[in-house]
């Protein structure tokens, strides 16, 4: 995929920051403007596009960074989709500065970062409401993927109406953003597997030298690159989510197979990436649900 010099610089900056693994990662990301990337300048953001956000999310996916950028960026898009200038001026500068918000559509069983969000953007019947956590029942969930914070959100009666919003636009934004994150995770799975294949010796030679292993690594590479192309084609977000979920699932499974037993030990990172692959597939609709919807539409 072709990137501009500015986009490459952004990619490099985020990669360098993540390589240092700071304990206060979220504030550091906010300092370089990650939280406000896709927010217009007039509301305190950088005025960048979804592509720049995807570049950052891809890097976060590589490291399974437990930061709330994905959920917060989607929440900001929900506010923008209302066209309510007053709400944008009131909410978006705080989000761009690092405030945590999350989008709560009625169809989502698992809500990103709801247990630490300061604002809940609740979508009901084509309307968007601004609520606080103490106005809802927020229950943190214990999931296999410890790097992703999820919660259930129960609301008796939505309050704080912002106005009508474009749920289709927001969902498409969410699917494209998540797909880019999945690409980063898949890319790191491939990278770890190649590194292991160079080091693991069997029958007196690294297993990466065996033709059968080479073919499997090549197949993983093709899956990663085609998934990247799909993710950054933001005109087709549903297709991107389906393909990237399937690609990540297959790459993660191959990673486990080629690592062998060590991949399922707590000490090795492979099991963490395998769990992320399966957990991410369920966010914003499992691939099977999207495919069934296609069949219904004919």
Of 187, 186, 260, 250, the C-alpha closest to 216 is: 250
- What is the pTM assigned to this prediction? 0.96
Q: What is the pLDDT of residues 51-78, one digit of tens each?
A: 999 999 999 999 999 999 999 999 999 9
User: What pLDDT is attached to residue 137?
Assistant: 95
Residues 156 and 174 in one domain: no
Per-residue pLDDT, averaged over 173-190, amounts to: 99
The answer to whether residue 1 scores a pLDDT higher than 80 is no
- Select from 165, 182, 210 the last residue of a domain: 165
> For strand 111-112 and strand 150-154, is the pairing parallel, antiparallel, or unpaired?
antiparallel
User: What six digits make up the tokens of 223?
Assistant: 């899956």
What is the span of the domain harbouring residue 157?
5-165
Q: What percent of the chain has pLDDT over 70?
A: 99
Give the CATH number of the domain where residue 90 resides: 1.10.540.10
Q: Measured between alpha carbons, how far is 74 from 170 in angstroms, rounded to an integer?
A: 7
Question: What is the spatial distance between Cα 225 and Cα 283, in angstroms, rounded to a whole number?
Answer: 22
Write the pLDDT tens digit of every residue in 256-273: 999 998 888 888 999 999
From start to end of 68-160, where are the E strands? 101-104, 111-112, 119-124, 127-131, 137-140, 150-154
Per the structure, the count of domains in the chain is 2
- 229 lies in the same domain as 148: no
Mean pLDDT computed over 30-40: 97
Confidence band for 298, pLDDT divided at 50, 70 and 90:
low
pLDDT surpassing 80 at residue 296: no
Q: Tell me, what CATH number does 190's domain have?
A: 1.20.140.10
Relative orientation angle of helices 270-282 and 237-259, to the nearest 10 degrees: 150
Among 137, 165, 193, the domain boundary falls at 165
Within 10 Å of residue 16's Cβ, how many Cβ atoms?
10
Q: How confident is the model at residue 201 (pLDDT cuts 50, 70, 90)?
A: confident
Interval 89-109 mean pLDDT: 94
Per-residue pLDDT tens for 79-88?
999 999 999 9
Mean pLDDT (the chain, rounded): 95
Of the candidates 165, 188, 210, which is a domain's last residue? Answer: 165
How many residues belong to the chain?
298
> Is residue 21's pLDDT more than 80?
no
């Amino acid at each position: 995929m072709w990137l501009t010099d500015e986009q490459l610089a952004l990619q490099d900056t985020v990669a360098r920051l993540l390589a240092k693994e700071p304990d206060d990662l979220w504030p550091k990301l906010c300092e370089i403007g990650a939280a406000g990337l896709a927010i217009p300048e007039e509301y305190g953001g950088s005025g960048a596009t979804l592509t720049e956000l995807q570049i950052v999310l891809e890097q976060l996916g590589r490291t399974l960074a437990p930061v709330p950028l994905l959920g917060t960026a989607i929440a900001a898009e929900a506010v923008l989709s209302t066209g309510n200038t007053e709400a944008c001026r009131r909410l978006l500068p705080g989000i761009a500065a690092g405030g945590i918000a999350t989008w709560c559509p009625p169809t989502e069983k698992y809500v990103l970062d709801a247990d630490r969000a300061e604002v809940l953007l609740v979508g009901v019947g084509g309307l968007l409401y601004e609520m606080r956590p103490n106005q809802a029942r927020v229950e943190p969930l214990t999931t296999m993927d410890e790097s992703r914070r999820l919660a259930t959100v129960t609301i008796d009666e939505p309050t704080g109406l912002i106005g009508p919003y474009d749920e289709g636009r927001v969902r498409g934004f969410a699917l494209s953003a998540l797909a880019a994150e999945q690409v980063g995770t898949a890319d790191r799975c491939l990278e770890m597997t190649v590194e292991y294949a160079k080091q693991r010796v069997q029958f007196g030679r690294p297993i990466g030298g065996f033709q059968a292993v080479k073919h499997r690594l090549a197949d993983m590479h093709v899956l990663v690159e085609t998934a990247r192309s799909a993710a950054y084609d933001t005109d087709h977000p549903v297709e991107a989510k389906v393909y990237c979920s399937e690609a990540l699932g297959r790459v993660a499974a191959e990673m486990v197979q080629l690592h062998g037993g060590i991949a399922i030990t707590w000490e090795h990172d492979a099991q963490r990436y395998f769990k992320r692959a399966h957990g991410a597939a369920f966010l914003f609709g499992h691939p099977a649900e999207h495919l069934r919807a296609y069949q219904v539409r004919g």
